[in-house]
Amino acid sequence: MDARPASPSFWRDPALPFIELRSIEDGRQVCYGRHSHAFFSIGAITSGQSTYSNRDVDCQVSQGTVVLMNPGDVHACNPIDGQPWSYLMCYVDPQWLGELQHARGLADAPGFQRFACIASDDAELYQGLLALRRTLLDPLTGNADKHAETSAFFNLALERLVLEGDPEAGLNPRLEMAAELIQQHCGEPLRLDTLCAAAQLSPSQLIRGFKQRYGLTPHAYLLNRRIQFAHARLKSGAALAEVAQEAGFADQAHFQRTFKQLLAATPGQYRG
């Protein structure tokens, strides 16, 4: 039997701007390029199995697995030889989650602290994520109750999952300068020699350093940042042509292609 077209389903609500949902019921045709997000992601494999890559770790995940991606983690999750699978993903503002970590005494300041694991088979956490989706999608549930249920689920996650140590440890300030330049000017043409000058590194040093630190070449990092920017602008309701230009793409076709390659959805599907 041929796989049905993969149509992602998105949920977001201006009353709860710190959380967003995405789900796929038939993921046989859903393929992601390696990418990262500025937000924290936690998801559940709701049926079947797939391959999951996060930085330098590759594993197989199946129904009941909860997967996690810290902000900036380069990752991908793709089907196995056309086998059916489905999933739910929850995208969370790291500042909101960092404030929750701080309120629980898990961090000295409200800033987000990374989670140590990339996957969990905790059954209560899995069922809790499914229950949170039902609550958020329920039109009869008020925003105050949805907010309370979201906080309750992430408090459970903070009880069950271990946080990493100092997130600033081991960072290379030269690479951070180049990455910051990309973050601030992603919509502009940025040449490799411009990044090298900012980082005071040779091209080979910069490329090798980016692959080790971010899991991407500088060019791939720039494209990923452009798609993150476009994602945020589309979420605010901006027009597709306007977003493509602001994000630095020469034409809409290139924008559409790159967006779908990294996020497994077209800009129009996401914008709704």
Buried b (16+ CB within 10 A) or exposed e, 66-87: bbbbbbbbbbbbebeeeebbbb
Predicted TM-score of the model (pTM) = 0.87
Residue 1 has pLDDT above 70, yes or no: no
Burial label, 19 (beta-carbon count in 10 A; 0-12, 13-18, 19+)? buried
Rounded Cα distance, 262 and 34, in Å: 7
pLDDT: which is higher, 34 or 2: 34
Classified as helix, coil or strand, 48 is strand
Residue 242 has pLDDT above 80, yes or no: yes
The closest alpha carbon to 16, from 141, 159, 129, belongs to 141
Residue with structure tokens 């090798």?
208
- Please check whether residue 206 is in contact with residue 217, taking contact to mean a CB–CB distance below 8 angstroms: no
Question: What is the average per-residue pLDDT within 132-142?
Answer: 97
Domains in the chain: ranges and CATH? 9-160 (2.60.120.280), 173-271 (1.10.10.60)
Q: Tokens representing 25?
A: 């019921």
Question: What is the average per-residue pLDDT within 196-214?
Answer: 93
Rounded Cα distance, 121 and 11, in Å: 25
Beta-bridged to residue 58, according to DSSP, are 53
pLDDT category of residue 81 using cuts at 50, 70 and 90: confident
What are the respective helix, strand and coil percentages of the chain, to the nearest 5?
A: 45, 20, 40
Residue 71 has pLDDT above 90, yes or no: yes
Question: What is the average per-residue pLDDT within 74-99?
Answer: 93
By mean pLDDT, which of 54-58, 184-188, 230-234 is the weakest? 54-58
